[in-house]
Amino acid sequence: MDSVTIDGLDRELVHALQIDGRAPFSRIAEVLDVSDQTVSRRYRRLRSHGVLRVVGRGDVSGPGRERWHMRIHCVPDAALGVARALARRPDTAWTDVVSGGTEVNCVVQTPNRADRDALLLDALPRSPRVTSMSAHCLLHTYFGGAGEHARVLAALSPAQERRLRPRPATGAPLTPDTVDRAILAELGQDGRCELSRLARAADCSESTARRRLELLRDSGCVFYDLDLDTALLGFTVTARLWLRVAPSDLDAVGAALATHPEVGFAAATTGPHNLIAAVVCRDGAHLYEYVSKRLGGLTAIQHVETAPVIRPVKGSATPWDMP
């Protein structure tokens, strides 16, 4: 595929979709002061070149719905195959090959504890390509929820952000039915897919699909995330940071990480490192500056392990480049 050149308007569009991935092109066009056709054309161009992908994500809370961050060490030359196998599972997200090319990181969210145990205690340990693994339960998210992304990618003014920000979920809790689950499955593949496609998938009318979609959003059962190829946006280094702090300082350090523009995700976790962060940087020098100065200024941090991402394989719901 031909290379793509990203300009200021593209960056503004990316930022707009980070705020509301399903915002009508007409509303985005009004905020960016361009035509609807320009926004539509720019979006389709960026999506076809793999720069971005809007994904509808379901609620991750509830009994037995814990999220686990996996660190899987593989025999040489096996990491990419293991990462791709994990990426094909519907219960995995953010699957990457990191460090020296023999480690896979991914987030696992199984629908119940039996499925979780089958993966963590049976399937992965029995793989001859896996030499060791550890599972870390994500206990509390400081940054990286709905609409929260690394702010180094920001291109809009605060006033523009306010005009695009969707209304908060205010509806009553909703238990998804068969129609809702079919709609959520389609949104997981394309968060901006047409109502006609949602209706076909759920075997209902377009008016029913529209009404159920609004109910899902108003109840907080779905939000829209944005998977990005940050390298094409000029940020060529992403990394996972594993940090260890004293328990009494955990909340303060997590809250501080949430204010850093490089941070796209930060959470408390179980294990020898009790904090994990995902960061986005322009290059290696930027990463060094971030670790040595911004993290270095947080004296409560006792240890930092930096694991650069070598190959992103899957974003929040769909694989990037699968054979």
SS3 track for the chain: CCCCCCCHHHHHHHHHHHHCCCCCHHHHHHHHCCCHHHHHHHHHHHHHCCCEEEEEEECCCCCCCCCEEEEEEECCCCHHHHHHHHHCCCCEEEEEEECCCCEEEEEECCCCHHHHHHHHHHHHHHCCCEEEEEEEEEEEEEECCCCCCCHHHCCCCHHHHHHHCCCCCCCCCCCCCHHHHHHHHHHHHCCCCCHHHHHHHHCCCHHHHHHHHHHHHHCCCEEEEEEECHHHHCCCEEEEEEEEECHHHHHHHHHHHCCCCCEEEEEEECCCCCEEEEEEECCHHHHHHHHHHHHCCCCCEEEEEEEEEEEEEECCCCECCCC
Q: Give the mean model confidence (pLDDT) for residues 75-88.
A: 92
Across all residues in the chain, what is the average pLDDT? Answer: 90
Dihedral pair phi/psi, residue 121, rounded to 5°: -105, -15
302, pLDDT greater than 60: yes
Both structure tokens of 201: 């998938």
270-287: average pLDDT: 96
| Angstrom distance (rounded) from CA 323 to CA 304 | 35
Longest Cα pair distance anywhere in the chain, in angstroms?
Answer: 58
Confidence class for position 64, pLDDT limits 50, 70, 90:
low
Of 243, 281, 231, nearest in space to 260 by CA: 281
Band of pLDDT at residue 249, cut at 50, 70 and 90: very high
Look at residues 89, 160, 173, 104 and name the one whose alpha carbon lies nearest to residue 135: 104
Q: For 141-159, what is each residue's pLDDT tens digit?
A: 999 877 788 899 889 999 9
Say whether pLDDT at 319 is over 90.
Answer: no
- pLDDT at res. 10: 96
pLDDT recorded at residue 236: 94
322 pLDDT tier (thresholds 50, 70, 90): low
Residue 167 pLDDT exceeds 90: no
Tell me, what's the pLDDT at 62?
53
Asked if residues 191 and 55 have their Cβ atoms less than 8 Å apart, the reply is yes
pLDDT for 263 beyond 90: yes
Cα of 113 vs its chain's centroid, Å: 23
pLDDT (mean) for 293-317 = 94
DSSP strand pairing (52-58 vs 263-269): unpaired
Query: Torsion-angle region of residue 94: left (phi > 0), alpha (psi -120 to 50) or beta?
Result: left
Residue 50 in contact with residue 320, Cβ under 8 Å? yes
Look at residue 293 in the predicted model and tell me its pLDDT: 95
pTM: 0.87
Per-domain residue ranges for the chain?
142-147+231-314
Q: Which of 67, 69, 68, 86 is nearest to 129 (CA)?
A: 86
pLDDT at residue 59 in the model: 66
Q: Which fold has domain 142-147+231-314?
A: Alpha-Beta Plaits (3.30.70)
237-245 and 222-228 as β-strands: parallel, antiparallel, unpaired? unpaired
Determine the Cα–Cα distance for residues 186 and 220; give it in Å rounded to an integer: 17
pLDDT (average), residues 270-290: 96
Asked if 98 and 309 count as a contact pair (C-beta separation under 8 A), the reply is yes
Asked if the model's pLDDT at residue 1 lies above 50, the reply is: no
Dist. CA 72–CA 108, nearest whole Å: 12
41-50 pLDDT, tens per residue?
999 999 999 8
Asked if residue 252 has pLDDT above 50, the reply is yes
* Predicted confidence (pLDDT) per residue in 112-137, tens digit: 777 777 777 777 777 889 999 999 99
- Rounded Cα gap, residues 192 and 87, in angstroms: 22
Query: Can you give the pLDDT at residue 42?
Result: 97
